[in-house]
Amino acid sequence: MIGLLGGSFDPIHLGHLIVGQAVAEALGLEELRFMPTGAQPLKRGRHLASAAQRVAMVAAAVEGEAGLSVERCEAERAGPSYTVETLRTLRAREPGREFVVLLGADAAADLDQWHEAAALPGLARLVAFTRAGAPRPSHPFLHAVVEAPAVEISSTAIRQRVAAGRSIRYLVPAAVAKYIAAEGLYRNGQE
């Protein structure tokens, strides 16, 4: 089974990696792909880094990590990033592979708003993971709910720290911090 953990990753941080690894181990996944969205329909216009920059940060974060990789199909596709279309693309590209879509509690709560939500269970298993401060996910489309470690790191707080000229060491992988600095990301203080 291949796990897909989608998100803005604006930027990816150690919390994403810790939770992703814990959920992958709990499910016995052979591979976990972090999948940056291109244009997330429920957050349209709110990405500060471009899709290519977010892909580059994810690639830097998982480089050399066994069982972790970056899935680029959403970021490279024009238009909104609909999970149902992504799963159809992946199933056509990799016939016979079983996919598991990993959802945070907040994303699972919005599942009914997703494009063609009813088609999702026929394309992949949907597994939610708990999130600190959010109610335990419950939805008829969910195959399972996995306990994930509570990690109090947010991309918003990281962007704010960069804008304020503060350190992000120990919040993001060193390669991601280096990329953010080299690209001058998040310095303008926009949220």
Average pLDDT over residues 77-94: 92
Evaluate whether residue 121 is within a structural domain: yes
Evaluate whether residue 188 is within a structural domain: no
Higher pLDDT: 48 or 26? It is 26
Q: What are phi and psi of 129, to 5 degrees?
A: -125, 150
Average pLDDT over residues 96-116: 92
Burial 155-178 (b: 16+ CB within 10 A, else e): beebbebbbeeeebeebbbebbbe
What is the distance between the alpha carbons of residues 187 and 17, in angstroms, rounded to a whole number? 24
Compute the mean pLDDT over every residue in the chain, rounded to the nearest whole number. 92
pLDDT, residue 111, reads 92
pLDDT-derived band at 132, boundaries 50, 70, 90: low
What is the distance between the alpha carbons of residues 34 and 102, in angstroms, rounded to a whole number? 10
Evaluate whether residue 112 is within a structural domain: yes
Residue 78 has pLDDT above 70, yes or no: yes
Residue 119 has pLDDT above 90, yes or no: yes
pLDDT, residue 61, reads 98
Evaluate whether residue 190 is within a structural domain: no
Q: Could you report the per-residue pLDDT of 48-72, keeping only the tens digit for each? A: 899 999 999 999 999 999 999 999 9
Evaluate whether residue 139 is within a structural domain: yes
Average pLDDT over residues 82-97: 95
Q: Could you report the per-residue pLDDT of 37-53, keeping only the tens digit for each? A: 987 665 555 678 999 99
Alpha carbon 179 to its chain's center: 18
Determine the structural domain holding residue 59 and report its residue range.
Answer: 2-183
Average pLDDT over residues 77-96: 92
Evaluate whether residue 18 is within a structural domain: yes
What does the block give as tokens for 33? 């792909």
How many independent structural domains does the chain possess?
A: 1
* Cβ atoms 123, 153 nearer than 8 A: no
Evaluate whether residue 140 is within a structural domain: yes
Bridge partner residues of 101 (DSSP): 4, 126
Burial 103-134 (b: 16+ CB within 10 A, else e): bbbebbbebeebeebeebeebbbbbbbbbeee
Classify residue 45 by burial, with Cβ atoms within 10 Å: 0-12, 13-18, 19+.
exposed
Looking up residue 75, the CATH number of its domain turns out to be: 3.40.50.620
Evaluate whether residue 154 is within a structural domain: yes
